[in-house]
Chain A
């Protein structure tokens, strides 16, 4: 069948099962948008390309498909870069389609030409450029396969405008490579597996008296929730989570001891410090999770399980490592490691319960972040997808919101991208329209992609934004207070924008909550109001995130 390159792109996306894409048109993708005009694919028109990338990322993190974003060449493409890098750092699958100037104009500094393949190179899993319309079906098949297999990541597909206009043959590609790979990438290994040290790992687990399992994002990516739960319950192991591992196990599960790391809970950080065995699954030992690496779990042996063997010994040396899909490895290991001493494990669990930070008695009459997050859990009963921006509110959400289901806490961990949460919520909504979506935002981050409130309104997305407004860049302000002698350089905003008016101006219902007594009713009202809602919570500027491990220090060195 003779089609234009643009029609072939759309047909190929349909073949991949794509139903929703996020983007914004421009000169070099007009042919593609013309083809989309006849397609059943829903294109969500955003207000800024960065938001399209975050939305596609959020879509992937919550749903089962691969998120797709589209931008035109030049500035459109470069605007995607932050979103692509965000997805890359959190191993989120994504296909980013960028327009490009015509092939015979490439290299001539043509209007809106940018070397997207070069610019995006360090932040993609792979990238490709279509040179002929006939190649497109194969390239798109490859892009989706590479993005979603192994350790997932973003793939950029650059589409010169003349290739979109050229006619080509549409043939559905036949998967010809090994391991179900669509093409012959003789070196690409979708699933690496190395379980040669299984017995060693099993022996360490059986003999451990004070083990801690660390659940990372790999559990979410591999959908290894059941294997993790069975492993933790069967072997009576306490489970700590990294920020992106949040939700890998129900946060009210008796074996869950909290988030680890810079703003982790005291129980998790102290248990890790005192442990004699760490079993890290799909976690990459980021500096924010482990503190000073030389001091990390010094009395523990380390078993590291990951699908990416480059993570082994990268940040923390492993005594034993297993390479493979988290769920499969956990299942195999659970069987091999049975026969532990139940008595000592229970005593260890009891001990961890005593390590928790003392409960703070909060008699003040302030709009405290925890009250807002507790109220959120109360009102939604935890049946909610939470996305966050980046900063203090993100850490409060990670600490206090109880995630009850996997893949429902969506946050930018590795790159820490302010401006992520509001657009990511759009992706979350389209991936799971059956679930309520709440974006926990701070005033600093919210202003970075606030224009997407308009997109919320145009598509009537029932997303509820809880805006924690402390009129400052709170996390930096906190560091300045503690480590820089309260010299608040460029963190305090001289005036507050009127967030209610901004939201209303974009067609989003909005109201401000002036008293802490009204927090719960405000969230109830937001949830009950159809369509998008922004709830503005002015919070005290002096609120800090604790516990806190100062950067570069040991996890045991917490400011409580």
Chain B
């Protein structure tokens, strides 16, 4: 079963390695991982998806929480209600004849055209995994030249405020960043 974790960490050197190597060491495969800084200075958010049985979800959550630089771990799948998005760039072959069809598909999937050459178009698409997969399938008939995609990023929906926000709603973590 797939499971998505949202992990806040101190933005310290090597923290990506600590987080990712934990999955390797504990014999779990990462399906998707993305990291970025957050609005709070010194804090990064990891969104990590794994495909494993439920026992592993529990283990991963607790093992992650033990890492010294991890601030909080939330199992979004367990929580139930969250928003998840992936981003992809798709370069697809587009002749004069096929171009209108591709525009039509782009329209259906709310893609933006971000680059246009004489024989190819590059589309930008945002959505959940399923939408991106469907779009790729639709474009495949025209010939996808290359594609790049981000890992999935996710946030819990706003009706329940996670614990760390309640405790430290106004906190900045800038003091944690040491030169």
Chain A residues engaging chain B, CB cutoff 8 angstroms: 117-118, 121-122, 125-127, 129, 131-132, 135, 138, 146, 151, 183-188, 308-310, 312-314
B18 interface residue, CB < 8 Å from A? yes
Contact among B13, B17, B21, B62 for A309, CB-based, below 8 A: B62
Q: Given the known A-B contacts A117-B14, A186-B10, A186-B173, are A310 and B62 also in contact in the complex, defined by CB atoms under 8 Å?
A: yes
Q: Does the CB pair B178–A135 fall under 8 Å?
A: yes
Q: Does the CB pair A308–B17 fall under 8 Å?
A: no
Q: Does the CB pair B69–A187 fall under 8 Å?
A: yes
What total of A-B pairs shows CB separation below 8 Å? 57
Chain B hits for A183, CB < 8 A: 176, 178
Q: Which of B1-51 contact A (CB under 8 A)?
A: 8-10, 13-14, 17-18, 21, 25
B153 interface residue, CB < 8 Å from A? no
CA distance A183 to B168 in the complex (A): 17
Specify the chain A residue showing the minimal Cβ separation from B60.
A310
Chain B hits for A314, CB < 8 A: 59
Contact among B14, B21, B68 for A122, CB-based, below 8 A: B21
Chain A hits for B55, CB < 8 A: 313
Q: Does the CB pair A186–B71 fall under 8 Å?
A: yes
Q: Does the CB pair A188–B68 fall under 8 Å?
A: yes
Q: Does the CB pair A187–B21 fall under 8 Å?
A: no
Q: Which of B91-119 contact A (CB under 8 A)?
A: none
Q: Does the CB pair B68–A146 fall under 8 Å?
A: yes
Digit string of B62-74 for contact with A (CB within 8 Å is 1, else 0)? 1101111111100
B58 interface residue, CB < 8 Å from A? yes
B179 interface residue, CB < 8 Å from A? yes
Question: How many residues on chain B are close to A (CB under 8 Å)?
Answer: 28
Q: Given the known A-B contacts A126-B68, A186-B71, are A310 and B63 also in contact in the complex, defined by CB atoms under 8 Å?
A: yes
CA distance A126 to B58 in the complex (A): 22
Contacts A122-B21, A122-B25, A127-B14 supplied; 5 other A-B pairs, CB < 8 Å: A121-B18, A121-B21, A187-B67, A187-B71, A310-B66
Q: Does the CB pair A131–B176 fall under 8 Å?
A: no
Q: Does the CB pair A121–B17 fall under 8 Å?
A: yes
Q: Does the CB pair B179–A187 fall under 8 Å?
A: no
10 tightest CB-CB pairs across the interface, nearest first?
A310-B62, A187-B71, A126-B68, A187-B70, A122-B25, A184-B176, A186-B71, A188-B68, A310-B63, A309-B62
Q: Does the CB pair B17–A118 fall under 8 Å?
A: yes
Specify the chain A residue showing the minimal Cβ separation from B178.
A135
Chain B hits for A184, CB < 8 A: 173, 175-176
CA distance A549 to B55 in the complex (A): 27
Specify the chain B residue showing the minimal Cβ separation from A122.
B25
Specify the chain B residue showing the minimal Cβ separation from A312.
B62
Specify the chain B residue showing the minimal Cβ separation from A187.
B71
CA distance A151 to B65 in the complex (A): 13
Chain A hits for B67, CB < 8 A: 187
Chain B hits for A188, CB < 8 A: 68
Specify the chain A residue showing the minimal Cβ separation from B22.
A122
Chain A hits for B176, CB < 8 A: 183-186
CA distance A183 to B67 in the complex (A): 15
Specify the chain B residue showing the minimal Cβ separation from A314.
B59
Digit string of B141-159 for contact with A (CB within 8 Å is 1, else 0)? 0000000000000000000
Q: Does the CB pair B59–A310 fall under 8 Å?
A: yes
CA distance A132 to B178 in the complex (A): 11
Specify the chain B residue showing the minimal Cβ separation from A142.
B68
Q: Does the CB pair A185–B68 fall under 8 Å?
A: yes
CA distance A74 to B62 in the complex (A): 33
CA distance A277 to B17 in the complex (A): 41
Q: Which of B121-179 contact A (CB under 8 A)?
A: 168, 173, 175-176, 178-179
CA distance A117 to B10 in the complex (A): 17
CA distance A310 to B61 in the complex (A): 8
CA distance A59 to B10 in the complex (A): 32
CA distance A151 to B66 in the complex (A): 10
Specify the chain A residue showing the minimal Cβ separation from B179.
A132
**B65 → A minimal CB distance (Å):** 7
Contact among A118, A129, A187, A308 for B68, CB-based, below 8 A: A187
Specify the chain B residue showing the minimal Cβ separation from A117.
B14
Contact among B14, B62, B65, B175 for A187, CB-based, below 8 A: B65
**B175 → A minimal CB distance (Å):** 6
Chain B hits for A186, CB < 8 A: 10, 71, 168, 173, 176
CA distance A125 to B17 in the complex (A): 14
**B93 → A minimal CB distance (Å):** 41
**A319 → B minimal CB distance (Å):** 15
**A499 → B minimal CB distance (Å):** 38
Q: Given the known A-B contacts A121-B18, A121-B21, A125-B68, are A187 and B59 also in contact in the complex, defined by CB atoms under 8 Å?
A: no
- Most A CB atoms within 10 A — which of B14, B66, B71? B66
Chain B hits for A125, CB < 8 A: 68
Q: Does the CB pair B58–A313 fall under 8 Å?
A: yes
Subset of 22 A-B contacts with CB under 8 Å: A118-B14, A121-B14, A121-B17, A121-B18, A122-B21, A129-B13, A151-B66, A183-B176, A184-B173, A184-B175, A185-B176, A186-B71, A186-B168, A186-B173, A187-B10, A187-B65, A187-B67, A188-B68, A309-B62, A310-B66, A313-B58, A313-B59
CA distance A310 to B176 in the complex (A): 26
Chain A hits for B65, CB < 8 A: 187, 310
Specify the chain B residue showing the minimal Cβ separation from A184.
B176
CA distance A404 to B50 in the complex (A): 48
**B10 → A minimal CB distance (Å):** 7
**B13 → A minimal CB distance (Å):** 8
Chain B hits for A131, CB < 8 A: 179
**B71 → A minimal CB distance (Å):** 4
Chain B hits for A312, CB < 8 A: 62
